[in-house]
Structure 1
Amino acid sequence: MLRAAVELADEGGFEALTMRRLADRLSVVPMALYKHVADKRELLDGMVDLVFAEVEVPVDVDWRTAMRLRAASMRQALLRHPWAVGRMETGTPGPANLHHHNAVMRCLRRDAGFPFRMAVHAYNLMDAYVYGFALQEKTLAGDIPAEAARRQEAVVDRQPSGLEDYPYLAEVVTELAKTGFTFADEFEFGLDLILDGLGRMPQQASRAADIEPDPPLRPSGQ
């Protein structure tokens, strides 16, 4: 049932998924579905869990490689299931969801050696990047150079000066057409920056821990 629901959502979006359409896909009456889920909210929880099951969190590799592969795997899963963008951290987690989150925290705590709070910061940062990138990739046009050229034409049609008043935007239009643009390259660029920054954090934390704090000032007369 859950896989049929995922297929329907992949085809038309989660909003287009109804219990009646799902029942038709499974050749059952709608009321039969409620033997398995209480409502559409619970159905979504199960669907999200299937998406989490597709995301790889490698083991037996260094933490940077694991987090890079995990981020790339999550992006690919969200490309396959765009309805899940913005819904991955909502609802009641299922077993695949719990396994995934535990595996990521294990990698950050055990393999990367981050203190607890730093591991939480790192996890939230990476999720914000991956989920935010997936949302942008979902909403922006697939061919960015072509879309930039289309917008240039629209601007020229509306104002005589065209992009003359916006030289840096004009540069975007012309240079993207020459150099190209791919979401995959942009994703890797941002991911490199995040992982490089996180890679410096344990050393910074260790140095901070080695610095003895100044003794508290004593009131005069003591």
Structure 2
Amino acid sequence: MTTDARIPLSRKRVLRAAVGLADEHGLRALTMRRLAEELGAEAMSLYYHVAKKEEVLDGIVDVVAQEINEAVERLDPGADWKPAVRQRILAARRVFLRHRWAPELFETRSATSPAVLRYYDALVGLMRDGGFSYDLVHHALHALGSRALGFTQELFDPSAGSSADVPADLAAGLPNLVGMLSEIAHDDPESALGWCDDQTEFEFGLDVILDGLDRLRDQA
């Protein structure tokens, strides 16, 4: 228990404690019982503020998304759409790097967070101000996918129970894949949100997409 139990419970306090618990111990450690212990309260008392764990999960998506909005609102957008969009996405990524459990949660929630919608609305506004049609913005958002929020979905995910290494009995027939995996290694775990999602790879993919979108905008 790390919180003063004498402070009255509120929805905001419960959700902030949930974010802190996930930051310290991971998302799977976030249970109503563990959260109540963290707050110095009875588990049943949490239900006055969050009806069930699913509501906690939706709520902490909002908390992180609001943190992203606050981060990007402090940026100077400048006159050119591309560096403005780039720095906005990288600012969002820095928030996710502080909450490494959050990408998985954002990908799996069925309810759309109002704070996430505000983030995307401002992103669309930047591109519209940069000369994009709504049609091209729509294509751009599909091309960016989760990268628009600062993280990418892994092609391989050893954490999901499978190995990224090529099985020995298949290696002889997959020389190109084996060659790539044996040569490429990422050694900066602080910049990763997954097995291979380090800062260099993220920025490489982001720049490829933004450069392509800039050419399409000029042709429109």
Q: 1:46 Cα shift? A: 1.8
- Unpaired runs of at least 5, structure 1: 142-146, 206-222
Which AA in structure 2 matches 1:30? A
Alpha-carbon distance in 2 for matches of 1:5, 1:138: 29
1:86–1:131 contact (8 Å) kept in structure 2: no
The aligned residue for residue 101 of structure 1 is 120
Q: The residue matched to 1:85 in structure 2 has which SS?
A: helix
The aligned residue for residue 32 of structure 1 is 45
In the alignment, structure 1 residue 78 sits paired with structure 2 residue 96: yes
Q: 1:109 Cα shift? A: 1.5
Identical-pair percentage? 41
Alpha-carbon distance in 1 for matches of 2:35, 2:18: 6
Q: What per-residue deviation string (whole Å, max 9, x for no partner) do you get for residues 130-155 of structure 1? A: 579533299358xxxxx98xx48x73
Alpha-carbon distance in 2 for matches of 1:130, 1:119: 12
Q: Select 1:53's aligned residue among 66, 70, 95.
A: 66
State the number of aligned residues: 188
Alpha-carbon distance in 2 for matches of 1:6, 1:195: 32
Alignment RMSD (CA, Å) = 3.1
Alpha-carbon distance in 2 for matches of 1:117, 1:170: 40
Q: The residue matched to 2:113 in structure 1 has which SS?
A: coil
2:144–2:209 contact (8 Å) kept in structure 1: yes
Q: The residue matched to 2:50 in structure 1 has which SS?
A: coil
- Shift >4 Å, 4+ stretches: 130-133, 163-166
Alpha-carbon distance in 2 for matches of 1:130, 1:22: 31
Q: 1:191 Cα shift? A: 1.0
TM-score by length of 2: 0.69
In the alignment, structure 1 residue 64 sits paired with structure 2 residue 82: yes
Q: Select 1:189's aligned residue among 204, 208, 211.
A: 204
The structure that is helix-richer by fraction is: 1
Alpha-carbon distance in 1 for matches of 2:122, 2:141: 11
Q: What per-residue deviation string (whole Å, max 9, x for no partner) do you get for residues 162-201 of structure 1? A: x565443453255436xx6762211111111100011012
TM-score by length of 1: 0.69
- Unpaired runs of at least 5, structure 2: 1-13, 189-197
Which AA in structure 2 matches 1:176? I
Q: Select 2:55's aligned residue among 42, 65, 69.
A: 42
Q: What per-residue deviation string (whole Å, max 9, x for no partner) do you get for residues 60-114 of structure 1? A: 32221122122222333333323322432632424x334322211211222x221
The aligned residue for residue 28 of structure 2 is 15
In structure 2, relative to structure 1, the CA distance for the partners of 1:181 and 1:190 (3 Å cut) is: farther
In structure 2, relative to structure 1, the CA distance for the partners of 1:138 and 1:29 (3 Å cut) is: farther
Alpha-carbon distance in 2 for matches of 1:137, 1:184: 16
Alpha-carbon distance in 1 for matches of 2:122, 2:33: 37
